[in-house]
Amino acid sequence: MIEELKPIGQVEKPAEIINLNDYLVSPDEDIPEPTPILSIKEFGRKIPIFTEDNVSMIFGPAKSRKSALIRSICQTVLSGENDKMFSNYYSNNIAVFDTEQSRFHCLRSTRIIWNMTQQAINYFCISTLNKDQKKKIVEDFLMQNQDCGMVILDNIVHFVGDFNSAQESSEVTEWVLNMKSKYKTHILVVLHENASSGFIKPRGHLGTNLMNLCETAIRIQKDPNDKFQSIVSAALTRGRGFEDFALTMDDQMIPYLGDLSPYEKENFKL
């Protein structure tokens, strides 16, 4: 058998050596619980749903008020609480990477958050960048802002060329995991859900991959009995779940959260 000739001077790369002890989890380790970033207020207790070094998801149909829910989340982390959410996280450095809205609509979102909190956030309009440039700007921001507590990728489907590609979905999922672990931040991804009736899940192979690794997956949809409000539900939680609650907006597009009435609970199904 004739071996393939290698160019003179070419040196084979040594095989990568992985130290097993770096990845072994021992029962006598002392690992503190992840620091809560955002909790739901319910029946006098606080239920952590977003913690440091984790990934979560918001998904729902188009125009279900996902952006309004994001504004409520930002307001809570910046200001401390609202009627349904609580945060005492030490860092209010938040970054939103918006892949869908125009620069004008991104500006409107930042102004609404400012009106709610009197604080500015890092809000990037990246709809014109290609998928690799989108990753690069997120990485550059985290490298320069290592105190960032939460990164929101709205909508992560634009970080891939084909959300049904197993390879692309696996690559971007691995990238998300690497980013949250490297910078000890919480990454909140936003997706639309599959349009197929009766089959509720975030869109494509990408949605399935991301949902499998999420600490919390939140679904939001318009209330079928009241077009002026949306229902926020715990689709999947690694810890304690929470009851459905309502989201409404005023004429200034400022969101408000509140409990569902007994009648609404009885007549609404996820």
Using CA atoms, how far residue 221 sits from 30, 44, 197, in Å, is 41, 26, 13
145 found inside a domain? yes
Average pLDDT for 93-101? 95
Q: Is residue 29 a part of any domain in this protein?
A: no
Q: What pLDDT score was predicted for residue 42?
A: 94
Quick check: 95 and 122 in contact, CB under 8 A? yes
Rounded Cα distance between 39 and 49, Å, is 5
Please tell me the total count of domains within the chain: 1
Q: How confident is the model at residue 7 (pLDDT cuts 50, 70, 90)?
A: low
Is the pLDDT confidence value at 195 over 70?
A: no
pLDDT at 269 over 70: no
Structural domain of 58: 34-267
Supply angle C-alpha 164, 217, 77, rounded to 5: 125
Average pLDDT, the chain: 91
**Can you read off the two tokens belonging to residue 34?**
């992840």
Does 13 reside within a domain?
no
Who's near 61: CB < 8 A, 6+ residues apart? Answer: 192, 193, 195, 221, 222
Examine residue 141 and state whether it is found in any structural domain, yes or no: yes
Whether residue 28 lies inside any domain: the answer is no
Distance (Å, whole) CA 18 – CA 67:
42
Residue 206 has pLDDT above 80, yes or no: yes
Asked, for residue 134, whether it belongs to a domain, the answer is: yes
**CATH number of residue 182's parent domain:** 3.40.50.300
Residue 23 lies inside a defined structural domain of this protein = no
**Per-residue tokens: 132:** 């690799």
Beta strands in the chain (DSSP E): 36-42, 45-51, 54-60, 85-86, 94-98, 122-125, 150-154, 186-192, 216-223, 226-237, 245-249, 255-259
The count of other CB atoms within 10 Å of the CB of residue 145 is 16
CB 123 within 8 A of CB 78: no
Question: Does 16 map to a domain?
Answer: no
Does 130 sit behind a cis peptide bond, omega within 30 degrees of 0 on the bond before it?
no
The predicted structure's pLDDT at residue 78: 95
Give the mean model confidence (pLDDT) for residues 9-32.
82
pLDDT, position 37: 96
